[in-house]
Amino acid sequence: MRNRLKVLRAERNWSQADLADRLEVSRQSVNAIETGKYDPSLPLAFKIARVFALPIEQIFSDEVEAAS
Amino acid sequence: MSTQTDVPRGNNAVMITRVFIVIALLGAALFLGAYGTHLARWSDAVAIVVALMCAASALRLAAESFYPDALGARIGVEGPSTAREVRQVRLQAMLLVALAIALVWPVTATWLHWPAPAWAYVVTAAFILVRITYTWVVFARADEFSRQRTRQMGWWIFFAGQTALLAYASAERLGLAPTLTAWDILVLMQFLSIMMAAFLGKARTAA
């Protein structure tokens, strides 16, 4: 799964620590999601969408969908 | 202080730790060479080696915890590590030291003909309490990513351990292999856990 977390975070001038605090997770989790090493659970994905005030599909996209 | 000056300092700490590790392993080799025949079982020698591996890992973690930039890079985050991350790493280092003591103590107590085995067992009981508390606290505070990594590690150790146990236990039951004690199995399991942790850690970094 691809995501735009790093771009969205940069647009808001947030550090990984800022986003981690908002999501109540560790900075390692934010980094792992940004680098594609970890796909978040549905509850965390919805929380990310709420924090960025965006629909979930504007943050995450399927690899197959993104390739086509 | 700039990042450019901190990273080499962190690297120096790691290099110094590596030198200590080599010295410790050479010391272990000399010790086992000189006194190895006095040990009750082959697994006692393995226990000493595993304990030294734990101590070496603890030393490395402790050294890195003094260099926030180096530690931040190792745990895979942007910028230097925070006070909370430093605390977590130091706690992990302390648990590794406790594990090293727990592995070496029964060997040492037996070797020294400790007069009261029940009292010697108090050290093991204390370590079990520390381990239960540490695991409970860490797991309770962990987020879903940390828990997933713990589960993944547990799965691999369980799979490898069960497969090896099935292979050996069947051979032992059929009289094809010598009998192992619970101590032998524990020591081998700890060795397996450490190797798995190191392997998965490298694999994650490379991914």
The 10 Å Cβ neighbour count of residue B94 is: 15
Whether ipTM > 0.90 holds is no
pLDDT digits (tens, 9 = 90+) for B89-105: 999 999 999 999 999 99
**List of E strands, chain B:** none
Domain ranges of chain A: 2-67
CATH topology for A2-67 is: 434 Repressor (Amino-terminal Domain) (1.10.260)
User: Is residue B181 classed as helix, strand or coil in its secondary structure?
Assistant: coil
Q: Are A4 and A57 in contact (CB under 8 A)?
A: no
Interface residue ranges in chain B relative to chain A, Cβ cutoff 8 Å: 75-79, 82, 85, 143-146, 148, 204, 207
Residues A60, A48: Cα–Cα separation, whole Å: 10
CA atoms within 13 A on the CB side of A53: 1
- Is the pLDDT confidence value at B38 over 50? yes
- Tell me, yes or no, whether B162 lies in a domain: no
Cβ-nearest to A16 among B78, B143, B146: B78
Q: Give the pLDDT band of residue B13 (cuts 50, 70, 90).
A: low
Instruction: Give chain A's residues under pLDDT 70.
Output: 64-68
- Tell me, yes or no, whether B172 lies in a domain: no
CA atoms within 13 A on the CB side of B199: 10
**Count of domains observed in chain B:** 1
pLDDT digits (tens, 9 = 90+) for B149-202: 989 889 999 999 999 999 999 999 999 999 999 999 999 999 988 888 888 877
- Tell me, yes or no, whether B98 lies in a domain: yes
Please tell me the predicted confidence (pLDDT) of residue B7: 46
- Is the pLDDT confidence value at B4 over 50? no
Closest residue, chain A, to B73 (C-alpha): A28
Closest residue, chain B, to A31 (C-alpha): B77
Cβ-nearest to A29 among B79, B85, B145: B145
* CA A20 vs CA A23, A51, B14, B71, B83: distances in Å: 5, 11, 28, 18, 15
Q: Are A16 and B77 in contact (CB under 8 A)?
A: yes
- Is the pLDDT confidence value at B80 over 50? yes
- Tell me, yes or no, whether B188 lies in a domain: no
- Tell me, yes or no, whether B9 lies in a domain: yes
DSSP state string for A6-22? HHHHHHTT--HHHHHHH
- Tell me, yes or no, whether B192 lies in a domain: no
Interface test with A, best of B81, B84, B145, B204 (most A CBs within 10 A): B145
> Which domain does B93 fall in, by range?
1-103
Which of the pair, B38 or B41, is modelled with greater confidence? B41
**What is the interface size between A and B, counted as CB pairs within 8 Å?**
43
Q: How far is CA B5 from the centre of its chain?
A: 31
Query: Locate tokens 């032998």: which residue?
Result: B184
- Tell me, yes or no, whether B127 lies in a domain: no
